[in-house]
Chains A and B, each alone.
Chain A
Amino acid sequence: MVAAASTTTGSALRVRNVSKHFTTTDGSALPALLSASLEVGAGEFISLIGPSGCGKSTLLRLIAGLDVPGAGELFVGGEPIKGPSASRGLVFQDPNLFPWLTVRHNVESGLVARGVLKEKKHEVDEFIRLVGLEEFRDSFPHHLSGGMAQRAALARAMINHPEILLLDEPLGALDAFTRMRMQDEVLRLWQARRTTMLLVTHDIDEAIYMSDSIVLMSPRPGRIERIIPVNLERPRDRSSAGFLQLRSGILELLHFAGHVSA
């Protein structure tokens, strides 16, 4: 893989006592995230799971610099986060490709935005090849399937060589088969580039399959409940004993363990 040659290693991330409130329409403050603390080592793959409303996406937006925390601090590689930056890429559940640009121009938009298109032009083809969209490089987004669009979105985020890649349920809208194929694809990108990855997901299997550790969050107000390390050999077998054991342990913590509550 050509792109792997120019490796940029990920950065460590530190989240310290971060809280975020949103103001509702009637003016009251709604806590979305309460005193969250988290340490992510450089090049680690972390998943955030928990029911909706537990502040996963809020935390991701804070790390991306798109929102400002009400209290607490966030650091990347020792530097405080002061706003969005090309060094922290973000991929949403909706690929959000720019519909007016072809796949190629979408992928290179990060280079254009940073004003480095001329020097880095050769990387555009590399990244399009990396996500397997060579044949669709001149197609407009509405001609792509969900999986293809999401791969293009990944390439667009990766081309800036971010130190941290934030994935907000990027595979949530895909069918089961495409989803599993995409999980391997993301892992391949991660292993090739050692980018620090934060993945928000609803899917416990996905979290176990992909991450070094899983951050379990609880809702209303959103807080970090527990951090579970995943000590399984890669590539992981979704039906191995260790996998299933971890899975039932997490289900238990989320109160979904087999028995129906009376």
Chain B
Amino acid sequence: MLGLLCAILQLPFVRLGSWLRETAPIVSVAILLLVGAEAITTGWRWLPLPYFPSPARVLRTIIDNRAILWNSTWHSLILLISGYMLGVLVGLVSGVCIGWFKHARYWGMPILKVIGPIPATAWIPLALVLSPSAMLSAIGIIALAVWFPVTMLTASGISNTKASYLDVARTLGASRAYLIFRVAIPAALPNIFLGLFMGLGSAFLTLIVAETVGVKSGLGWYLSWSREWAEYGKVYGALVIMAIFFSSIMTALFWVRDRVLVWQKGTIKW
């Protein structure tokens, strides 16, 4: 009886044990680095203050400023999601059109080639003048940054659909809608996801810049505001939160991709 109880209680620890075994090297190195940083900053004071506060101090700052950090993260999230979604939506539509229809390609490609490579942040001065609110202009700028890679990769994926897939579908009685939505788009999905990842990268960049110059809220604003006051503890705090924030969103996109592209499992690794 006691043995059984022990066995049951042991179960979560067995899983914890195997998880620990797998992550032990990387976790121990991380701890070692943190301890090292603590020793260098607080212990020996090798690095000049206020630029290099100790890890413990940064943690303290994060805890002390949790309300404003939480608020900034929330604002950044809303801005990022709205801009990203808008960019993805428009990018997918324009990408499919340019990839599939000859006329859309003829007229769309030059626009894409001329407008696309301009970093979206270069539009900020113009956007601030044109848009009624800083928030809207930031959404537009982020959407523009996302739109380019998503359109480019979607279009190339669609136009590179293996001709024999389309031939097979035609001999199966496929309509044009079937060819686009059930052959070309699925065939282009690996490419489309590349565009989504690249778009997410430029969305992060554009978000931080837009918050610094235009919108007066969010993590980007918090970061530059802290720097102006030379509160480097807060700067590092913001960086830590950004790392967690951005990598969670990246992970979420990876999760979506693994679900959607489950048919590629075992054929492609990236």
Chain A interface residues toward B at CB < 8 A: 64-66, 84-86, 88-90, 92, 94, 96, 98-102, 109-110, 112-114, 140-143, 156-157, 160, 166
In the complex, the answer to whether B178 meets A96 with C-beta atoms within 8 Å is no
Interface centre among A102, A112, A156, by most chain B C-beta atoms within 10 angstroms, is A112
Q: If A92-B164, A100-B263, A142-B267 touch, does A109 touch B169 (CB 8 Å cutoff)?
A: yes
CA distance in complex: A102, B267 (Å): 15
**Does chain A have a CB within 8 A of B13?**
no
Q: Count residues of B near A (Cβ-Cβ below 8 Å).
A: 24
Question: A residues within 8 A CB of B267?
Answer: 99, 142
Given A86-B171, A100-B263, list of 14 further CB < 8 A pairs?
A64-B167, A65-B171, A86-B172, A88-B171, A94-B164, A109-B169, A110-B172, A112-B178, A113-B173, A113-B175, A141-B263, A142-B263, A142-B267, A157-B172
In the complex, the answer to whether A98 meets B167 with C-beta atoms within 8 Å is no
In the complex, the answer to whether A113 meets B174 with C-beta atoms within 8 Å is yes
Interface centre among A66, A88, A113, A160, by most chain B C-beta atoms within 10 angstroms, is A113
Q: Can you list 21 A-B contacts (CB < 8 A)? A: A66-B167, A66-B170, A66-B171, A84-B171, A86-B172, A90-B171, A96-B167, A96-B168, A98-B183, A98-B186, A99-B263, A101-B263, A102-B263, A109-B169, A109-B172, A112-B178, A113-B175, A113-B178, A140-B262, A142-B267, A160-B173
Question: A residues within 8 A CB of B167?
Answer: 64, 66, 84, 90, 92, 96
Question: A residues within 8 A CB of B182?
Answer: 109, 112-113
In the complex, the answer to whether B173 meets A85 with C-beta atoms within 8 Å is yes
Question: B residues within 8 A CB of A101?
Answer: 186, 263
Closest chain A residue, CB of each to CB of B173: A86
In the complex, the answer to whether A89 meets B171 with C-beta atoms within 8 Å is yes
Question: B residues within 8 A CB of A156?
Answer: 168, 172
CA distance in complex: A141, B168 (Å): 15
CA distance in complex: A254, B266 (Å): 45
The number of A-B residue pairs with CB atoms under 8 Å apart is 76
CA distance in complex: A86, B162 (Å): 20
Q: How far is the CB of A104 from chain B (nearest CB, A)?
A: 13
Question: A residues within 8 A CB of B187?
Answer: 98, 100
In the complex, the answer to whether A98 meets B173 with C-beta atoms within 8 Å is no
Question: B residues within 8 A CB of A110?
Answer: 172-173
> Interface readout for B232-252 with A: 1 if CB under 8 Å, 0 if not?
000000000000000000000
Closest chain B residue, CB of each to CB of A116: B173
CA distance in complex: A215, B170 (Å): 26
Closest chain B residue, CB of each to CB of A64: B171
Closest chain B residue, CB of each to CB of A153: B168
Give residues of chain B (87-141) contacting chain A, Cβ–Cβ below 8 Å. none
Q: How far is the CB of B263 from chain A (nearest CB, A)?
A: 5
Question: A residues within 8 A CB of B171?
Answer: 64-66, 84-86, 88-90, 157, 166
CA distance in complex: A101, B178 (Å): 14
In the complex, the answer to whether A92 meets B173 with C-beta atoms within 8 Å is no
Question: B residues within 8 A CB of A166?
Answer: 171
In the complex, the answer to whether A113 meets B172 with C-beta atoms within 8 Å is yes
B165, B263, B265: the one contacting A96 at CB < 8 Å is B165
> Interface readout for B175-202 with A: 1 if CB under 8 Å, 0 if not?
1001000110011010000000000000
Closest chain A residue, CB of each to CB of B179: A113
CA distance in complex: A65, B165 (Å): 15
In the complex, the answer to whether B189 meets A96 with C-beta atoms within 8 Å is no
CA distance in complex: A92, B187 (Å): 18
CA distance in complex: A73, B236 (Å): 76
CA distance in complex: A140, B262 (Å): 9
Question: B residues within 8 A CB of A64?
Answer: 167, 171
Q: If A100-B189, A112-B178, A113-B178 touch, does A160 touch B172 (CB 8 Å cutoff)?
A: yes
Closest chain A residue, CB of each to CB of B164: A96
CA distance in complex: A157, B170 (Å): 11
Question: B residues within 8 A CB of A113?
Answer: 169, 172-175, 178, 182
CA distance in complex: A84, B266 (Å): 34
CA distance in complex: A262, B165 (Å): 46
Interface centre among B162, B164, B168, B169, by most chain A C-beta atoms within 10 angstroms, is B168
Question: B residues within 8 A CB of A160?
Answer: 172-173
Question: B residues within 8 A CB of A92?
Answer: 164, 167-168
CA distance in complex: A101, B168 (Å): 14
Closest chain A residue, CB of each to CB of B166: A66
Q: How far is the CB of B255 from chain A (nearest CB, A)?
A: 18
Listed from nearest, the 6 A-B pairs whose CB atoms lie closest are A86-B173, A84-B170, A110-B172, A113-B174, A90-B171, A100-B186
Closest chain B residue, CB of each to CB of A109: B172
Question: B residues within 8 A CB of A100?
Answer: 186-187, 189, 263
